[in-house]
């Protein structure tokens, strides 16, 4: 168990939705029993339906979240830095809603659910703040799902690439953070559909290179394309 959170971890927690807007002292009090884990590729964090004993904050790397749909795995999300995992289940039915598996290694903050809830019982103000934050995240998720259904495969892929670009304009060079097949699963398409989507994006200056490298000639143009009501 950690004896205290260092400055770097506290800074990262400012971007984790569950802790955004909380005072540093309150964050330290809530996370007294936390533990920092460094886990390797394919490490299983938890399975769908298991009782919640901990929740996690991703500090580095990627974690795949998936559901079992009639015996077939469906990738819901690939969580990255500052994502909170398992918090909804902790506040809800007490069982994990999805299966979480580490991809290519990850560093996570593990927080025991029982002690965390016990401390929250003494702080109604923080509890209400967190519930408000979770409600906002749910509304945003519903909006993203609705928008996703209206986008073409090329627009979906373009939007995914934009999540890895901080700049608003100019050129960009980026790399797929994990296997393209997993990217396709996450975006709700087949691998061959992803390849065709890359071909369509090439028309607006998005070039797929060897070793998962992607060159974007004009970031603003890609943003415009992804916002269009009808993609190419």
- Whether the domain at 7-149 and the domain at 151-227 fall into the same CATH topology: no
The token duo for 62 is 């990627």
Most confident of 3-7, 16-20, 39-43: 39-43
Give the tens place of pLDDT for each residue, 23-78: 999 999 999 999 999 999 999 999 999 999 999 999 999 999 999 888 888 888 88
Residue 98 is predicted with a pLDDT of: 92
Q: What is the mean pLDDT of residues 84-92?
A: 85
What is d(CA 207, CA 201) in angstroms, rounded to the nearest whole number? Answer: 8
- Domains in the chain: boundaries: 7-149, 151-227
pLDDT at 134 over 60: yes
What kind of fold does domain 151-227 have according to CATH? Arc Repressor Mutant, subunit A (1.10.10)
The radius of gyration of the chain from alpha carbons, rounded to an integer in Å, stands at 19
> What is the DSSP secondary-structure string of the chain?
--SS--HHHHHHHTTSTTTTT--HHHHHHHTTT-EEEEE-TT-EEE-TTPBP-EEEEEEEEEEEEEEEETTEEEEEEEE-TT-EESHHHHHTTSB-SSEEEEEEEEEEEEEEHHHHHHHHTT-HHHHHHHHHHHHHHHHHHHHHHHHHHHS-HHHHHHHHHHTT---SSS-EEEE-SS-HHHHHHHTT--HHHHHHHHHHHHTTTEEE-STTEEEES-HHHHHHHHHSSS--
* pLDDT averaged over every residue in the chain: 87
CATH 2.60.120.10 fits 7-149, yes or no: yes
The token duo for 1 is 């168990």
């Amino acid at each position: 168990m950690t004896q205290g959170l260092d400055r770097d971890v506290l800074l990262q927690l400012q971007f984790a939705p569950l802790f955004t807007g909380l005072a540093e002292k309150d964050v330290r009090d809530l996370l007294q029993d936390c533990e920092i884990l460094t886990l390797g590729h394919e490490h299983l964090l938890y399975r769908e339906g298991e009782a919640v004993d901990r929740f996690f904050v991703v500090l580095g790397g990627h974690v795949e979240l998936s559901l079992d749909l009639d015996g077939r795995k469906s990738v819901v999300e690939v969580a990255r830095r500052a994502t909170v995992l398992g918090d909804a289940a902790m506040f809800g039915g007490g069982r994990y809603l999805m299966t979480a598996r580490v991809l290519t290694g990850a560093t996570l903050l593990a927080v025991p659910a029982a002690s965390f809830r016990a401390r929250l019982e003494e702080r109604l103000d923080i509890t209400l703040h967190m519930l408000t934050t979770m409600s906002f995240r749910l509304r945003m998720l519903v909006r993203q799902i609705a928008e996703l259904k209206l986008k073409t495969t090329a627009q979906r892929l373009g939007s995914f690439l934009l999540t890895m670009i901080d700049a608003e304009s100019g050129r960009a060079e980026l790399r797929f953070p994990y296997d393209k097949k997993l990217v396709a699963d996450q975006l709700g398409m087949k691998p061959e559909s992803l390849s065709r989507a890359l071909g369509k994006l090439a028309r607006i200056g998005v070039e797929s290179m060897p070793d998962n490298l992607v060159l974007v000639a004009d970031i603003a143009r890609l943003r415009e394309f992804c916002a269009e009501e009808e993609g190419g």
